[in-house]
Structure 1
Amino acid sequence: MAKDPSRMKAPRKKRFAQTNGEHYHHLDALNFKKSLSQWDRPKKYGEICRITGSGAFGVILLLQKTQNCNPPIDRYYALKVFRRRPGQPLAEYQKRVRSEFSIASSLQHRNIIQAFELLPVGTDNLCESMEYCSGGDLYSLLVVSGPLETAEADCFFKQLLRGICYMHEMGVAHRDLKPENLLLSRRGSLKISDFGNAECFRFSWEIQVHMSRQRCGTGPYISPEQYHKEEFDPRSVDIWSAGIVYVAMRTGRNPWKTANEADECYRDYLEDRQAGRGYFLIEDIGHDRSREVLYSTLDLNPLRRPTAAAILRTQWVKQIACCEAASSGLHEQLPGPGTSQSTEELSGV
């Protein structure tokens, strides 16, 4: 099928930003910071420096705490203040927040953001102290820089797969993988964040996987089986999202808005794959080995999608040379509120 020339020639950065919608950096930070100054917030993590982001369910703050020694040492933390929806019962709000924190704090991996503590803020709100990544998120990098070079995108993709592999081994599916939820350290380490939609598909004492029926996530990254009424394996959802993230990194755009037949771009992909043809976006960015992996992650049949562990064993991914931070697993700061980090180390903040 012939491709729409206007769609192919549109500015890539604009196209990506339009597909993902308005980004959180457009919020009124000054008014929110003023209201926070009146809250009885936890002092152990220092003072608010600025608002670094906001999502549907929370606002992220950067906190700085100076340790009085010679010379002084600055420590940086991220604090996620969970929003309570209008009219939402307090018990429901607290259950949702505690569930997210329970999952996030149980995961200890170099490619997953580290959650330290759940704390009360004011009378009814809760907040989560987390590891701070001064490199921002992958979405912002794509909007500012456009498509990434092959080596950089490959490195991020391999790190993402490592994080997914660990999560799935722990019985957790993220269910909302997208560039906004992938944070970057100053040294180039990628970390999965925001477990608000995550679910436990298998507990440690279980063997059988609990299937899911609930659709969740963000438009372009939602797998097609979620639009049907049948149950599905939540692990295959994360694999699909990882494939879309890689396409976004290499092309600076999302291939479609929604993976259902109402979307013209997705229909193009559907027709190409059913006819045994390659899809132009994937054909343009890959070689034989990488294209084979990408098509497998975006297989229309979720039962045929490989596991993250299987993808990591493919010849292409095994040969990806990661940056030093990804190879060594360096943290932007040592875990826990009792650790320190010098201002010089965070000169990129």
Structure 2
Amino acid sequence: MDDAAVLKRRGYIMGINLGEGSYAKVKSAYSERLKFNVAVKIIDRKKAPTDFLEKFLPREIEILAMLNHRSIVKTYEIFETSDGKVYIVMELGVQGDLLEFIKTRGALQEDDARKKFHQLSSAIKYCHDMDIVHRDLKCENLLLDKDFNIKLSDFGFSKRCLRDDSGRLMLSKTFCGSAAYAAPEVLQGIPYQPKVYDIWSLGVILYIMVCGSMPYDDSNIKKMLRIQKEHRVNFPRSKHLTGECKDLIYRMLQPDVNRRLHIDEILSHCWVQPKARGLSSAAINKEGESSRTPEPGSDKKSATKLEPQEEARPETNPEEEVLQMQVSRQSEATVVASEQPSRETEEGAPLQSSETHT
């Protein structure tokens, strides 16, 4: 039977094609039982690579059956036919994904970004508390429901973390995800802490939310890696971001895995907790933004454009704000001078879909 006939027998009326790859596709469908539209991921075992069938697909199915969180796409049903096709029936992101949303509308205002980022961070905390890691966090995998709330999707690279005899989480060696969202330790092929890897990707996502552009240009991985390892984060001057927001991004995009924030520290950060923002703002301004120094070559334009085409270009100014801050694990709200400043720039890397690598 074809897909439409299979789904019809299960009570679904197949709709339009939402996406398609070499061995999987996603269709919309109307559920006669639920009385609303759903998404159906259809995987053809005959076309899928062995590594996917033996490792990634079983993990995904196991994890999807465990998850139940308001900011994670719901899985309603998983079934398989005798001819080797797996059907995963899921909640439909009726407003599309976050990447297309930002490409169409531009960067989010901080209040909107805070709401969406809190939803995403809550979902990641839920997963991490269960020792589940996503390992492919990117804007394309963040769907929006009818009210534009975040729904985390695509657990194809997720896994349950293993622990050694002493109870410590074991390192991962498999490169998962997209280069533009990948942490430097992953790009270097170093065995990595998967939860810490997720945090870096969260930092990239928040940057995209508030800047409407990528923090790093992945067209040259070697150059990108060098910039990341120097802990350089360039913020577009035109966005006028608050110090608290830049502080949080800077602390998530920390190349030192021992100093990168944990998910609990993110959720308790002053930017994510609006009531505490006023207290930390003065400290950040005192220690960081009061320093204004030109960066050598700061008037040099980036080769690629970061902001939406329809937005006006900011005026060129050779002077750049220097945001100096240091990740401190001793106090979640403490911000002090840093050895590597982030910079305010006119342009950055283009906002585009990321290719997935394994």
TM-score with structure 1 length normalisation? 0.70
Q: Residue type of the partner of 2:246?
A: R
SS at match of 2:124: helix
Please say if 1:49 is aligned against 2:15. Answer: yes
Amino acid at match of 2:266: I
Could you tell me how far apart the structure 2 residues matched to 1:318 and 1:59 are? 39
Name the residue aligned to 1:345.
none
In structure 2, relative to structure 1, the CA distance for the partners of 1:92 and 1:51 (3 Å cut) is closer
Instruction: Give 3-state SS (helix, strand or coil) of 1:110's partner.
Output: coil
Say if 2:7 and 2:14, in contact at 8 Å, map to a contact too: no
CA distance in 1, matches of 2:237, 2:47: 42
Deviation at residue 159 of structure 1 after TM alignment: 0.9
Counterparts of 1:196 and 1:285 in 2: how far apart (Å)?
36
Moved over 6 A (4+): none
In the alignment, the residues of structure 2 paired with residue 259 and residue 313 of structure 1 have an alpha-carbon distance, to the nearest angstrom, of 34
Measured in 1, the distance between the counterparts of 2:60 and 2:260 equals 27
Q: Distance in 1 between matches of 2:54 and 2:229?
A: 42
Distance 2:117 2:237 in 1: 15
Whether the 8 Å CA contact 1:137–1:182 is kept in 2: the answer is yes
1:121 Cα deviation (Å)?
Answer: 4.2
CA distance in 2, matches of 1:58, 1:281: 38
Q: Which amino acid aligns with 1:82?
A: I
1:163 lines up with 2:123 in the alignment? yes
Q: 1:57 to 1:142 in 2, by over 3 A?
A: farther
Structure 2, unaligned runs of 5 or more? 277-358
TM-score relative to the length of structure 2: 0.68
Quote how far apart the aligned CAs of 1:227 are: 2.4
Say whether the 8 Å CA contact 2:97–2:141 is kept in structure 1.
yes
Q: Secondary structure at the match of 2:15?
A: strand
Q: Which range is displaced more, 225-234 or 78-87?
A: 78-87
Of 291, 296, 300, which aligns to 2:246? Answer: 291
Larger helix share, 1 or 2: 1
RCO higher in structure (CA 8 A, sep ≥6) = 1
Q: Deviations over 1:174-200 (max 9, x none)?
A: 000001111111112211111111121
**SS of residue in 2 equivalent to 1:93:** helix
CA distance in 2, matches of 1:301, 1:88: 35
- For residue 206 of structure 2, the aligned residue among 218, 243, 246 is 246
- Paired amino acid for 2:222: A
Aligned counterpart, 2:62: 102
Percent of matched pairs sharing the same residue: 26
Root-mean-square deviation (CA), in Å? 3.0
Matched, 1:301 2:261: no
Q: Displacement of 1:219 after TM fit?
A: 1.7
8 Å CA contact 2:180, 2:218 repeated in 1: yes
Contact 1:182 1:193 survives alignment (8 Å): yes
